[in-house]
């Protein structure tokens, strides 16, 4: 549908059809879904409401909000930055351009965390530290799923930690926040380390949307592996004997990183999708 002929206050189905076409023209892969998310956010309803009331007319105020958001998405600004949040493990996390957008593949860390015998740690409140927390999605989710954990969330970015703090407060998760380059400012011995650190090699092909995400949260040297290797190095001093590290990386990096960890005294426990789990033998 040509936007010049679109009524000033179209019905839901008319606006969605036009928006989907325009998003498809700029190669947005999730055009239909994104159009629904935008319109649902503009009218402050869920997406099921759109399907239940396809002929409902959009008010002039709502159409302005929806059109403004659509213009941003047509410029390939990520939908999470436009609406201001991203769902992760069934919860909404405030998401701004200061932080990496939470990805579904990171949820595997929480799934695998549920497989280790947390009750077998010698203390009733095992220490978990989330390195490079960003929005706080991993550390906060870990605390909410395992209330007995003593959770610390860290990031080198002060702006990212502000977002993480907002999320911790909004979701009522009691966590400790530390600004730190990896583990340098963490003074305890952790029982569990979880980390979704930058692991993208700048030469890789990637989606246009990642241009809007912070470079600090995306890229690392040494084919994307330098920060993960440094974390493993630091963990030899900051992880308790028998402690675990959950690391997200591209599967093509796993073999090299696991071999590196083996040389530092860690053994592989499990590999699944983007995540691998290693354990200290010291």
Residues 109 and 140 sit within 8 Å (Cβ to Cβ):
no
The CATH classification of domain 98-280, taken from the options 3.40.50.11540, 1.10.3720.10, 3.90.1530.10, 3.40.50.150: 3.40.50.150
Say how many Å lie between the first and final Cα of the chain, rounded.
65
- Average pLDDT of 238-243? 95
Torsion of CA 106, 109, 110, 114, to 10 degrees: 160
What confidence score (pLDDT) does residue 1 get?
Answer: 45
Instruction: Specify the length of the chain in residues.
Output: 282
2 pLDDT above the threshold of 70: no
CA distance 216 to 126: 29
Domain pair 3-75 / 98-280, same fold:
no
Biggest alpha carbon distance in the chain?
A: 70
Q: Where are the alpha helices (DSSP H) in the chain?
A: 12-25, 31-43, 47-52, 60-74, 79-83, 107-113, 137-145, 158-170, 215-218, 221-224, 226-238, 251-263
- Round the CA-based radius of gyration of the chain to a whole number and report it: 21
- Average pLDDT of 12-31? 97
pLDDT band at 282 (very low <50, low <70, confident <90, very high): low
How does pLDDT run across 82-126, given as a tens digit for each residue? 999 999 999 999 999 999 999 999 999 999 999 998 878 888 999
- Class of CATH domain 3-75: mainly alpha
Q: What is the mean pLDDT of the chain?
A: 95
Domain segments of the chain as ranges: 3-75, 98-280
What confidence score (pLDDT) does residue 119 get?
Answer: 79
């Amino acid at each position: 549908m040509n936007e010049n002929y679109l009524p000033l206050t179209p019905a839901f189905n008319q606006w969605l059809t036009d928006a989907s076409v325009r998003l498809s023209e700029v190669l947005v892969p999730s055009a239909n879904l994104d159009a629904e998310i935008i319109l649902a956010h503009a009218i402050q309803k869920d997406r099921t409401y759109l399907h239940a009331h396809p002929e409902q007319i959009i008010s002039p105020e709502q159409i302005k909000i929806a059109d403004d958001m659509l213009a941003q998405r047509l410029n390939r600004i990520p939908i999470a930055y436009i609406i201001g949040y991203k769902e992760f493990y069934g919860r909404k996390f405030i998401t701004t351009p200061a932080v990496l957008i939470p990805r579904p593949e990171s949820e595997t860390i929480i799934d695998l965390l549920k497989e280790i015998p947390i009750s077998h740690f010698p203390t009733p409140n095992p220490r978990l530290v989330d390195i490079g927390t960003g929005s706080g999605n991993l550390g906060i989710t870990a605390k909410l799923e395992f209330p007995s954990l003593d959770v610390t969330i860290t990031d080198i970015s002060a702006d990212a930690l502000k977002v993480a703090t907002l999320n911790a407060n909004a979701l009522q998760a009691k966590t400790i926040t530390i600004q730190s380059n990896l583990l340098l400012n963490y003074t305890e011995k952790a029982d569990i380390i979880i980390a979704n650190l930058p692991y993208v090699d700048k030469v890789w092909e990637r989606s246009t949307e990642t241009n809007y995400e912070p470079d600090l949260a995306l890229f690392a040297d040494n084919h994307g592996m330098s920060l993960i290797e440094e974390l493993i190095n630091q963990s030899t001093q900051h992880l308790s004997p028998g402690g675990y590290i959950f690391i997200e990386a591209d599967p093509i990096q796993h073999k090299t990183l696991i071999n590196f960890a083996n040389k530092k005294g860690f053994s592989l426990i499990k590999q699944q999708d983007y995540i691998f789990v290693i354990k200290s033998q010291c």
